[in-house]
Amino acid sequence: MAAIQHKPTHSDIQKHVRDALREDLGGRVNNHDDITASLIPAQQTAKATIITREDMVMCGLDWVYATCQQVDSTIKITAHVKDGQRVSANAVLFTLIGNARALLTAERTVLNFVQFLSATATTTYNYVQYIKHSQTRLLDTRKTIPGFRLAQKYAVACGGGINHRVGVYDAFLIKENHIAACGGITAAVNQAKILAPNKPLEVEVETFTELEEATLAGADIIMLDNFSTEQVKSAVAFVNGRCKLEVSGNITHHRLTELCNTGVDYISSGALTKTVQAIDLSMRLNITKS
């Protein structure tokens, strides 16, 4: 598993969960507002077993703990896997023991977080397998669901990927519109070095002419946007180690292997976070006593 670069803090996760529960419970975190769960006798206890219906990479345990703590802090949680661990279909991920009403109130929020974050981790893991024989590293992007940025970046790291910049505050990424507004690549790079000389500085280019200018201007990283594989090979030869090179755009399973064989440093893909399909999970409830 890759080193975690941008794991959400405890307070981040608590807020994330609180917002999700409020959404489900009509504006406040109070399991008494779950009208369907209230059909069950108040003192009834149960054991819930959460399983996966498909192979996956686990991610989201901290969200499970936070959800259960906020719904009913007496719920006992036993995790059978760790974040970043590969899991086979039909495996038990974790078990929950506690008040039956509380378990049912927590169910959907728990499953939503785990199935979505594990999907991101699993997609990343599958992509990484195509390039693991090389020195090329897989990057995520800012194409995340609003409010899930840090959570998804954590999931990418759990799957073996590397986090790109978090937002627009921690690194420069000078793109087409920035270049046009600044009057060119060189002008934009020079201004960036004046404003924040210690921030990473990346330039996105669409042509070989722009690549040459960005290299001479002193970019730390150059993103090759929608370059063909042959163009990427030429770019690697031209740059010759003067800066890092990243490939982005039209990244498919079929292209991953051929791109990493060009010697490029990074491949970035928005698909890791924007087009994932939720993992199929199931919670089985067994009443323990009345």
Q: 106: exposed, middle or buried (C-beta count within 10 Å: 0-12, 13-18, 19+)?
A: buried
Residues 235 and 211 sit within 8 Å (Cβ to Cβ): yes
Query: According to the 3-state scheme, what is the secondary structure of 42-71?
Result: CCCEEEEEEEECCCEECCCHHHHHHHHHHH
- The Cβ of residue 165 has, within 10 Å, a number of other Cβ atoms equal to 19
Which residues are annotated as catalytic?
A: 108, 143, 175, 204, 225
- Give the Cα separation of 144 and 184 in Å (integer): 29
Cα radius of gyration (the chain): 23
- Give the Cα separation of 261 and 159 in Å (integer): 21
- The Cβ of residue 61 has, within 10 Å, a number of other Cβ atoms equal to 20
284, amino acid identity = R
User: In sequence order, what are the residues at sequence separation of 6 or more whose Cβ sits closer than 8 angstroms to the Cβ of residue 186?
Assistant: 213, 216, 217
| Angle, vertex CA 145, rays to CA 141 and CA 150, nearest 5 | 65
Q: 34: exposed, middle or buried (C-beta count within 10 Å: 0-12, 13-18, 19+)?
A: buried
